[in-house]
Amino acid sequence: MDVERRMLLAGGAALLASGAGPVAAQTAPPATGGPLPPGPAQPSETIDLWPAGAPGMPARPPLEVVEDRSSDPVFRDRSAQGIAVPRLAVFRPERPNGAAVLLMPGGGYRYVVVDKEGYELARWLTPRGFTAFVLFYRLPGDGWAAGPDVALSDAQRAMRLIRHRHAEYGIDPERVAAMGFSAGGHLCADLGTRFDHRAYEPVDEADALSARPHDVAPIYPVVSMTPGVAHAGSRDLLLGPNPSAELEARHSPDRNVPANAPPFFLLHAEDDGSVPVENTLLMRAALKASGIPVETHLYHEGGHGFGLRQTIGKPVELWPELWLAWAKAAGLA
């Protein structure tokens, strides 16, 4: 098993200020040590979310650990833990269509998946004209001052930074979507319902912008924090072992749908053995009750965590094209 350990200082990489533009040095994306096998190019462009370091750093900063769980020399399956410098890995299309997608990989709030629900989706999006931003967010079990809101802080900040820097990427700031998977689907739904929640104190002019996505796509998402429906591991890491009913409600997106929520695209396999399909059904019911446009796709077979690579030969293989048709109809592209 290939594991790389490296300490990330609270301030991230040294920032080289220039008098006329954005900083020149940013923290590299998570990567295992040693050369990568032949295959798709790795991202080289990143954006650190917090110019003076992430707020609320614990007394003992997390140690970033990147692990490759794959035995296949071609298909990587990396995950990152202990993220102390939250950042975006940027994938630029050759011909931008003016739209962007903020990708939030899963990992049960224990780690953040790198390849399967991050880079692979970004590489699917860019040939279709989308600028893709893969979010490496902080994890709630690492002791950050924001507690259960720490990942939402990073998601809100990421959405605002993308809008703030839209001209650099040829993006219409009104057409920035969000897509998340599993626990990243919870974060995506949380951003889609609590975009106006003040999860952190503003740090610069970017924070004057809205964090509301144009539309959101939680894919096989964790939604409810109610025992029996919740994904137990995500719930424990997000809320702790004995959360109050009020805390469960605050972090269950189906119970926090505002009247101005963006349109939702929901997708789940009914044989999901990790995150019950009831999570998506509860989200759909809440959106319908609030009059929010929602498209829902349920599959008899697919399991959990299929991303793109585990759909081949199954009806669920079509899901990205279904999302694309929906996104076009919603005005994203």
| Range 103-131 average pLDDT | 96
pLDDT tens digits along 271-298: 999 999 999 999 999 999 999 999 999 9
- pLDDT for residue 15: 30
| Range 211-239 average pLDDT | 97
List 296's β-bridge partners, or say none: 266
- pLDDT for residue 37: 64
Nearest to 68 by CA among 96, 30, 101: 30
**Fold designation for 2-329:** Rossmann fold (3.40.50)
Alpha helices in the chain (DSSP H): 120-125, 150-164, 166-169, 183-193, 232-239, 245-250, 278-289, 319-329
How does residue 311 score in pLDDT terms, banded at 50, 70 and 90?
confident
- pLDDT for residue 195: 98
Percent of the chain with pLDDT over 70: 90
Q: Which residue has the tokens 């990567």?
A: 31
| Range 147-155 average pLDDT | 98
Return the structure tokens found at 253.
């997106």
Through-space distance between the first and last CA atoms of the chain, rounded to whole angstroms = 41
d(CA 127, CA 149): 34
Nearest to 134 by CA among 145, 148, 143, 123: 123
How does residue 40 score in pLDDT terms, banded at 50, 70 and 90?
confident
Return the structure tokens found at 33.
């040590």
Phi, psi for residue 207 in degrees, rounded to 5:
-75, -5
Percent of the chain with pLDDT over 90: 81
- pLDDT for residue 25: 63
Counting Cα atoms < 13 Å in the Cβ hemisphere of 19 gives 0
- pLDDT for residue 14: 31
Output the CA angle 240-153-136, nearest 5 degrees.
90
- pLDDT for residue 314: 86
List 91's β-bridge partners, or say none: 132
Overall size of the chain counted in residues: 333
Residue 280 identity:
T
- Burial category of 212 from C-beta neighbours within 10 Å (exposed 0-12, middle 13-18, buried 19 and up): buried
Helices 183-193 and 150-164 sit at what angle, rounded to 10 degrees?
Answer: 70
| Range 52-66 average pLDDT | 96
How does residue 39 score in pLDDT terms, banded at 50, 70 and 90?
confident
| Range 310-319 average pLDDT | 87
pLDDT tens digits along 18-38: 333 444 469 999 987 666 766
- pLDDT for residue 225: 97
pLDDT tens digits along 185-210: 999 999 999 999 999 999 999 999 99
pLDDT averaged over every residue in the chain: 90
d(CA 250, CA 190): 10
- pLDDT for residue 200: 98
| Other Cβ atoms closer than 10 A to 300 | 10
| Range 47-65 average pLDDT | 96
Strands, sheet with 87-91, edge to edge from the N-terminal-most edge strand: 45-48, 87-91, 131-136, 100-104, 176-181, 216-219, 264-269, 294-299
Domain ranges of the chain: 2-329
